Amino acid sequence: MGIGKSGKWWVRTAGCVVATVVSVRMLLVTTCVIPSSGMENSLYKGERILVSRWSYGLRVPFPSVFGYHRIAPSAMGKGDIVLFNNPHPQNPETRIERRELFISRCVGSPGDTLMLDDDLTEVGGEVLSPDSKALYVYPASMEDSMLALLDSLGLAGNLLVGYTSEGNYIRSFSHYEYYLVSQRLEGRFSVLPMVGEGWRSAHPFVVPEKGKPVKIYPWNMTLLCNTIVAHEHRRAEVKEGVLYVDGRPADSFTFTKDYYWVASNDPVNVCDSRLFGFVPEDHLIGKAWLIWYSPHEGRFFRRIE
């Protein structure tokens, strides 16, 4: 049975619609669902967002097939919330464009020096967003008072995240949440940032920049070794406190790509550079742009900052 003129028109129309949608998603914007609470209070679990593929220049589709290229490239800014492919998938042979998606905030650009502690958490860094969270400690004996205070502020969902070796309690607060808590406390007991108490050591880590050598130290050796193997595709290993690249001891390494350091808003969530290390430029997809659906009232079509 043949297709009439009307049927052919509908087939052509449907084909054009499909082609337009595919082209827009490949060349202009893409959409994703926020899978966890790691970026609260900037983005909430379950929200649907649009990501601009042109924010840092359009990554030519299928980089594992055609090689990595960008049209009209531009640098990613510190503080940007960025969508990228997983730099450290379970199967390293997985093509870049087929790797799972992550979303985090950029806190280190190529050439930056970050002070990172033993857990690879930035210490004393610039506050890039009032939604960024930090860990705070307070006496265990004041837990009932803390719970009552959080309930009065509408923060009852803020859960206990751990304990110090001295038995004190740990919670994570955004800068604004901490402001509310400290104002309401009125000096009844202390809630102090964990960073700065001297319980962790910190060392300088240089974010690799294309064409510039990065000096190797005991504290950055493992991180650099993993980056060299995974993204520079060179043979590297650490033996007896020395980094060997292609079988030769190295005291520095010159990278062929630009890299970034990204962090979740909440330090308890480790789906960021603390888990997978530096993010290479060829894994960047684009900047988070707009919330087009949210289970939370008043957040529809809100620009993402």
Sheet of 248-249: strand order equals 236-239, 242-245, 248-249
pLDDT reported for residue 15: 44
**Parent domain of 288:** 23-123+200-212+255-303
Residue 83 and residue 188 share a domain: no
How many residues are recorded in the chain?
A: 305
Question: Is 0.95 surpassed by the pTM of this model?
Answer: no
Count of structural domains within the chain: 2
What's the pLDDT tens digit per position in 76-123?
989 999 999 999 999 999 999 999 999 999 999 999 988 888 788 887
Indicate whether 46 belongs to any domain: yes
Place of tokens 């130290």: 217
pLDDT reported for residue 236: 97
What's the pLDDT tens digit per position in 141-151?
999 999 999 99
- 115 within 8 A of 263, measured Cβ to Cβ: no
- Helices then strands, each counted (H, E), the chain: 6, 21
Residue 72 and residue 207 share a domain: yes
Indicate whether 97 belongs to any domain: yes
Q: Any idea what DSSP says for residue 76?
A: P
- φ/ψ of 6, rounded to 5, equals -65, -45
Residue 182 and residue 104 share a domain: no
